[in-house]
Amino acid sequence: MNYRHAFHAGNFADLVKHAALLALLDRLPRPLRVIDTHAGRGLYDLSGSEAQRSGEAEAGVGKLMQAPDLPAAFRPLRDAVRRLNGGDVARLYPGSPLLVAGALKSGDSYLACELRPEEHSALAQALKGKAGVGTRCADGYAAAVAELPDKGAALVLIDPPFERADDYARCVEALSAIARRNPAATVMIWLPLKDLETFDAFLRDAEDAGAGRLLVAEARMRPLTDPMKMNGCALVLAGAPPGLEPVLEQIVGWTAQALGENGQGRVWTAA
Ligand SMILES: C[S@@+](CC[C@H](N)C(=O)[O-])C[C@H]1O[C@@H](n2cnc3c(N)ncnc32)[C@H](O)[C@@H]1O
């Protein structure tokens, strides 16, 4: 495992995922159980060498904080980044754990899973003292199914690094197991968009997972002509709450147009 999210924190793909995550947390019924299968370290220092070397945060959250035309769907994320930094200069960036912990209401609970021991230590530190929150240094796919209540409102975020070929298959297996265990659960899977064949194959398998109607939001940052590049990202959601489509349209539309090169956002439903 070589993946370090510190190189990518605050990039366009984090903005899409985190704006959608905050929209879900605002709309789902309570009390809510949230499980983050791949939580990362929770908090990222964008002045650190990883973020400075990649330049991804500067091209992502750096631009978001200065955007004059930011759609309403991004305001909760911009507000969260502002609160963390005490202003519009993003030196720190919140990962999904801090965003979820900040959106919990009375009676909610949150489990953040992270497999790498050093990332997990940082995660536990970032979430220390927050009510209703637990962390586990464990495989998130297995923990998500084991820790999911069998009824009631639940949200599972599946955000793997996709550095292993079996991450696609494990996402589908988890989606299927979650739907069997708690049909009321909402699942959001984040995926990179490199080439359409890989994405289409994943969607065909996900449609057969028994999780019902899937909502798909794609931010294509450039035409998908070079499969060696991350040309965009996608979110695939099962059990999305009513009214989410227009929010996702704003999120992927602004990201692709404002931060992409000839980019395009699309939101659609897979059977
Ligand atoms: C894309 S990052 C997560 C970012 C985080 N969800 C966020 O939005 O801030 C993926 C993380 O998953 C961790 N990881 C890899 N395989 C895992 C597994 N099977 N279970 C749990 N964590 C895993 C990696 O160490 C990495 O920190």
Can you give the pLDDT at residue 224? 87
Give the closest residue (by CA) to ligand 1 atom 27. Answer: 40
Q: Which atom of ligand 1 is nearest to the CA of 21?
A: 8
Q: Which of 5, 41, 61, 77 to mutate to test the pocket of ligand 1 (most atoms within 8 A of CB)?
A: 5
Residue showing tokens 């299927």: 176
More confident residue, 271 or 230: 230
pLDDT digits (tens, 9 = 90+) for 160-179: 999 998 999 999 999 999 99
Dihedral through CA 36, CA 213, CA 21, CA 196, nearest 10?
90
Can you give the pLDDT at residue 227? 85
**What's the CA-to-centroid distance between 142 and ligand 1, angstroms?**
13
**What's the CA-to-centroid distance between 39 and ligand 1, angstroms?**
5
pLDDT digits (tens, 9 = 90+) for 57-73: 999 999 999 999 999 99
Distance separating alpha carbons of residues 219 and 9, to the nearest angstrom: 17
* Assigned fold of 5-270: Rossmann fold (3.40.50)
**What's the CA-to-centroid distance between 3 and ligand 1, angstroms?**
8
Confidence of residue 226 (pLDDT cuts 50, 70, 90): confident
Q: Which tokens go with 242?
A: 């009513």
Q: Which tokens go with 57?
A: 């945060």
Mean of the per-residue pLDDT values of the chain: 97
Pocket of ligand 1 (CB under 6 A): 1, 3, 5, 17, 36-40, 95-96, 113-116, 119, 139-141, 159-161
Distance separating alpha carbons of residues 161 and 175, to the nearest angstrom: 17
Which residues have a Cβ under 8 Å from the Cβ of 162 and sit 6 or more positions away? 168, 191, 192
Can you give the pLDDT at residue 157? 99
Q: Which of 54, 111, 115 to mutate to test the pocket of ligand 1 (most atoms within 8 A of CB)?
A: 115
Find out whether 192 and 228 touch, Cβ atoms under 8 Å.
Answer: no
